[in-house]
Amino acid sequence: MLIAWHRSLTQLWRQQKRWLLLLGLMVTTMLGVACWHSNQPVSQANPISEVVAADCGSASGGPVDNPVTAFYLDETPTWVDDLHWQCVFNINDYDGASDQERFQAAQAAAIAAGGGSVYLPAGTYRFNEDLVIGNGIIVRGEAGSIQTAKDPAFQPLTRLEFPQYEPSLADNGTPNATAFKQIRSQSPDTDSYQGLVYLDINRGAIELPGDPDTGTMTHRLIFGIRSNNVAEPDGQIPAEFQPQWVRFSSRFAANIRLTTQAQALIANNRLNDAVTDTYEQPGYVVQSRNRESLVTYVEGDRVPFNYTDHYGIVVNRSKPNGFGYARSATKEPGLFREGVVIRDNWVFKTMRVGIHASGQGLAILNNEIHDQENKVAWVNPTGKRVPQGSMTYENRAIDWSGHDVVVEGNTYEAYRHRIMDSQYFSTDGEGI
């Protein structure tokens, strides 16, 4: 009996040892996991992380959410989350003698941090020169109560004002350098992960081109922008036979021009809904059709400087010497970049193309494009000669190139120009 009792005690002790060992192993594992987590970087994808908010951005901060996802939900391209939404640099936290200097200071801090969102709260900001944005930078404003660009009441609460061109119809006219500013990229061929969000831009063209063949720029976002009074003076005007004060709106200008190697979203923007700067030019001189005589238009509305006689949105269709026609992806790789989506934009234009784009798998969806009826042309597209019936003013709503292109759900207008007071109209094919 004594032997049996001893055996029972031995078994009980062995079981207790096993339980103690198991308990010790569990505690050690839990402590190890906790220590491992404490040494890991906080995910940049977590929009509510206090550590991220504390470790980057300026004191006042600003919104850290992804506004595209808030608008489109699960239709948002996944790459948009990779932009630097969570490091917010509020322009009001930086000193400077002008809005330009304060913006530059805020952006410099964002660039030093590896990228971020330069936030401009509601208000009007004035810039006398080009606004140059760097790699990894989002310029974000404050949305208004109406966030759908097709709504006539759409108007972001953050307004960027660039200089107005004040024409002088005498002598050499007003220098072009006094106006016609741009929002452009610091290093056009390489800058990536850039965005412009909820801004009401007056007199500033968005110019983010780059080399379509060798450039490495990717991930570019234009969302919630209102754009008005955009133009570019034609470099060939005035010609030697014209008064040196005349100006002519370049047909190659655009409200939004962008080139990307991959991934671009141009969505929910409103272009040219409140143009105020178009002005008349009485005394504009052109050559006759045979170039043997000159014609002077006394009427100022015959050749106005027009802020809507140009493209609306241009994506991957810009190349210094132009693209070759009917080329393959091997010959013209810049026309076949992937990940380009242009959707839900409202565009008004009076010449050229509303949306001009290319891409492999390009999607042009649910855009609304408007034109002006009863247009009359008194000058050819170069601004130098009397027009003729075979003229093209490229009056198209959408013009695309690429493979596997989807053009769906768009509504659009496209009207031809009457050639002077004749029965002839312009010839404007090659698109819809």
Residue with tokens 């974000």: 140
Q: Is the peptide bond before 121 cis (omega within 30 degrees of 0)?
A: no
Where do the H-state alpha helices sit in 42-114?
A: 50-55, 67-72, 99-112
The pLDDT value given to residue 328? 84
- CA 1 to chain centroid: 92
Name 196's bridge partners: 139, 222
Distance CA 241, CA 234 (A): 15
**b/e string for 162-201 if b means 16 or more Cβ within 10 A?**
bbebebebeeebbeeeebbbbbbbeeeeebbbbbbbbbbb
Long-range contacts of 147-153 (CB under 8 A, 24+ apart): 147/71, 147/198, 147/224, 147/268, 148/268, 148/344, 149/224, 149/226, 149/268, 149/269, 149/270, 149/344, 149/345, 149/346, 150/270, 150/344, 150/346, 150/368, 152/273
The identity of residue 23, as a single letter, is L
**Domain residue spans in the chain?**
56-324+337-419
pLDDT in tens, the chain (432 residues): 333 334 343 443 344 434 333 334 333 333 333 333 333 333 233 333 232 343 689 999 999 999 999 999 999 999 999 999 999 999 999 999 999 999 999 999 999 999 999 999 999 999 999 999 999 999 999 999 999 999 999 999 999 999 999 999 999 999 999 999 999 999 999 999 999 999 999 999 999 999 999 999 999 999 999 999 999 999 999 999 999 999 999 999 999 999 999 999 999 999 999 999 999 999 999 999 999 999 999 999 999 999 999 999 999 999 888 888 778 888 999 999 999 999 999 999 999 999 999 999 999 999 999 999 999 999 999 999 999 988 999 999 999 999 999 999 999 999 999 999 999 999 987 778
Residue with tokens 């450039």: 215
Q: Is 427 left (phi over 0), alpha (psi -120 to 50) or beta?
A: beta
SS3 of 195, please? strand
